Structures are given as C-alpha cells and as structure tokens.
C-alpha cells in the first residue's frame, strides 16, 4: 500500500512538472525565421521564398520584430522591400554566379568551338 502511494505520488509530481512544459507553445515558423534572420549579417545575399509561391532575392538590410528588409537584386534598382516573417516559407543564402550575359557568351563560344572542331574533323576525314 505504501509502495503504491509512493508510486502514485511520484507520478503526480512528474505530471505536475511536465504539464506546464507540454503546454508551453512551440515557437512558430515566424519566430524561427526571425531568430534565423537575426543571425545573418547585414548585406548578406539571401533568397526568401514566400508562402504565396513568389520569392525575393537580394541583400539583407535589417531585421525587426515582425519583418526583414531586403534590397531586391534586380536590373532596375527597386526600393527596399519589407517581408513579414509570417509570410516566409523559407530563407536561404544565395550565391551570385556568372551574369546571364557572360553565360551567353561562354555558351556561344563553346558552341562555336565545338562546331569548328567537328568541321575540322569532317574535313580531315575527307582529305
């Protein structure tokens, strides 16, 4: 009987301590993204994917309680855009690669080189 009482009391104590812990609300996505953003340095290149399916690429300007501010990376400069944490689906660092113009010239150069090589091989084969 005493053993049962002890076990019951232990369980009660455990439940009493764990209940408030269980009841503590888990951090929301918005809070997680705010915490994440606060660890990024100003000027960091980021890509922010929004819940509506759109995304913003740019440089992080600042972070406040409810939103982060991004300077969009666009051809024609745009004003800083505020993105609410509750709208954010995902944030990732973004690395700028070659510009499209450079990629285009390289692709054309490679294509032309391959064409010349094939043509040279064909001519050599006919000789």
Partner 1 sequence: MEIAAVARRTAIGVIGVLVLSAPVRGQTSPPASTPGQPRWDAGGGFSLLSMRDEDVGDAVDDGNGWEGGYQLRLDVGRYWTPHLRLGIYAASGPRFRTAALAYVDANGRSFPTLIITNARLVTLAPGVTYQFRDNQFLHPYVTGGVQIGLLRMHRQRYPDAVRAPVPVARIDERQNTVHARPLAAAGFKAYFNRRVFVRPEVLAGFGPGGIRQFTLHLGAGADF
- 19 CB-side CA count, 13 A: 6
Q: Which is nearer to partner 1, 37 or 85 (CB)?
A: 85
Q: Cβ distance 85 to 38 under 8 Å?
A: no
Residue 9 touching partner 1 (CB under 8 A): no
Q: Which is nearer to partner 1, 8 or 112 (CB)?
A: 112
Within residues 38-77, the interface with partner 1 by CB under 8 A covers 50, 54, 56, 65-67, 72, 74-77
Q: Cβ distance 94 to 70 under 8 Å?
A: no
Q: Order of strands, edge to edge, in the sheet holding 45-50?
A: 81-84, 67-72, 55-63, 45-50, 88-93
* Binding residue for partner 1, selected from 100, 123, 124, 127, defined by CB under 8 A: 100
* Interaction site with partner 1 (CB under 8 A): 50, 54, 56, 65-67, 72, 74-79, 81-87, 99-105, 108
């Amino acid at each position: 009987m005493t053993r049962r009482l002890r076990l019951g009391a232990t369980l009660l104590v455990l439940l009493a301590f764990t209940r408030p812990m269980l009841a503590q609300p888990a951090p929301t996505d918005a809070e997680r993204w705010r915490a994440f953003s606060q660890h990024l340095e100003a000027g960091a290149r980021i890509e922010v994917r929004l819940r509506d399916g759109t995304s913003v690429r740019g440089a992080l300007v600042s972070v406040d309680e409810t939103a982060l501010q991004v300077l969009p990376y666009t051809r024609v400069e745009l004003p800083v855009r505020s993105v609410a944490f509750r709208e954010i689906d995902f944030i990732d660092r973004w690395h700028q690669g070659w510009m499209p113009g450079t990629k285009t010239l390289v692709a054309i150069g490679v294509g032309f080189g391959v064409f010349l090589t094939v043509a040279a091989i064909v001519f050599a084969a006919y000789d």
